[in-house]
Amino acid sequence: MTCIIFGDAFTFPDGDASTNRVYTYARGFLEHGSDVHVVCFRNTYLPVSSGEKEGIRYYHPFNRTKRSSSFILRRIHSAGKFARTCKLLRQINRNNKKALILCYTKSLSTQLFAFMLSRIFGFFMVLERSEHPFKDYKSRIALRARGVIRLAFEIRFTDLIFCISDYLIEFYKTGGAEKEKLFKVPSTVDTDRFVGSFERPMMRKYICYCGSLTILKDGVDILIKSYAEIAERFKDMDLILVGRADTMEDEKYFRDLVDSFGLKERIHFTGKLSRNKIPAYLSHAELLTLARPKSIVADAGFPSKVTEYLATGRPVVVTSVGEIPVYLKDNFNAFLAEPGSIESFAERMAFVLENKDFAESAGLKGKELAAGVFNYRNQVGNIIAFLKSKNL
């Protein structure tokens, strides 16, 4: 079987959480003997339009190095990626008639294009859902006017939906999807990324967060305020924020917040780092944190950063939202705080720092969980077994 990972919800080979999810799918299928092609459908300007990374072949059919000043040419360039994608899949089809398109997108139009391709070439089509499809809708009117229609189209124009959580399974069932069309694929992680010795990124001890600097999604403001609560108590402990904000306005908000607590010298902003630099920051942290508040995003998903945290074997402090408490147990394999509570999150961090041996024991149990339940090899093995049961 050939696996074609197609979509515009990720970048490749470098990127964020969605890119890590694509890597685990790609490596899993590759190691189970499948040919793998990653087709990044975004309009991204890059010096190279195709290549290979860790044995994974990837393509950027937009195939432009710089943005044209002409509106008409930009439209032509955007249209060109559709033709190049068709040509690419035709070539893949010549070599292997049995293929799976794993569509990873937030765009209904991209999904419909992928579905059309699957029908032209006789491929099986799977829609990947690791986040709530309505998370970007800002009003109830939008949900009523567009949500029901979008959901119906998502279910109709795919053969199967991979859902990251039971919440999403039930959501699509409520929307009319048959049980046989839904398959749960939990958060996945490549544990091998965190094996070995990594050079310390800084000499001082530190607490670490890694991901987008956001308020509504990951509660970075809560983390900063919680750290401020314990900073005087743990004077040898800094805080590192790995990642960047989505906007300059948000970036300024976080830096101003740090300044308001007088912690500019102890809270460090790294900006966005390349994928290969992140393991060092996570592996040397005294504890890893995620203060995610309760929201539609939290209810529907399971943060990929948490599975990466667990894979390091370091203690993890995280809020009890969504499916996190399904897998993580407080004072056993992680330390759970109440969502939205600065006091609760600060208390859990302080507990870890004051009970190092106990916390490190919990960290190792978390590592065992990552190596078992969340290991990409196990999850892709389950996927392949499920697809074989459908004669694919």
User: φ, ψ for residue 131 (rounded to 5)?
Assistant: -140, 160
Q: Is this model's pTM higher than 0.85 or not?
A: yes
pLDDT band at residue 14, thresholds of 50, 70 and 90?
Answer: confident
Structural domain that includes position 29: 2-188+375-389
Co-location of 147 and 263 in the same domain: no
CATH of the domain at 91: 3.40.50.2000
Q: Which uninterrupted H or E stretch holds 228?
A: helix 220-230
240-290 pLDDT tens trace: 999 999 899 999 999 999 999 999 999 999 999 988 999 999 999 999 999
- Cβ neighbors of 41 (< 8 A, separation 6 or more) are 6, 7, 8, 61, 62, 81, 85, 105, 110
Co-location of 10 and 27 in the same domain: yes
162-195 pLDDT tens trace: 999 999 999 999 999 999 999 999 999 999 999 9
Co-location of 155 and 200 in the same domain: no
Co-location of 145 and 201 in the same domain: no
Co-location of 124 and 269 in the same domain: no
User: How many domains in the chain?
Assistant: 2
Co-location of 178 and 207 in the same domain: no
Co-location of 201 and 347 in the same domain: yes
Co-location of 52 and 177 in the same domain: yes
Co-location of 199 and 347 in the same domain: yes
Co-location of 182 and 313 in the same domain: no
Co-location of 81 and 209 in the same domain: no
Co-location of 347 and 379 in the same domain: no
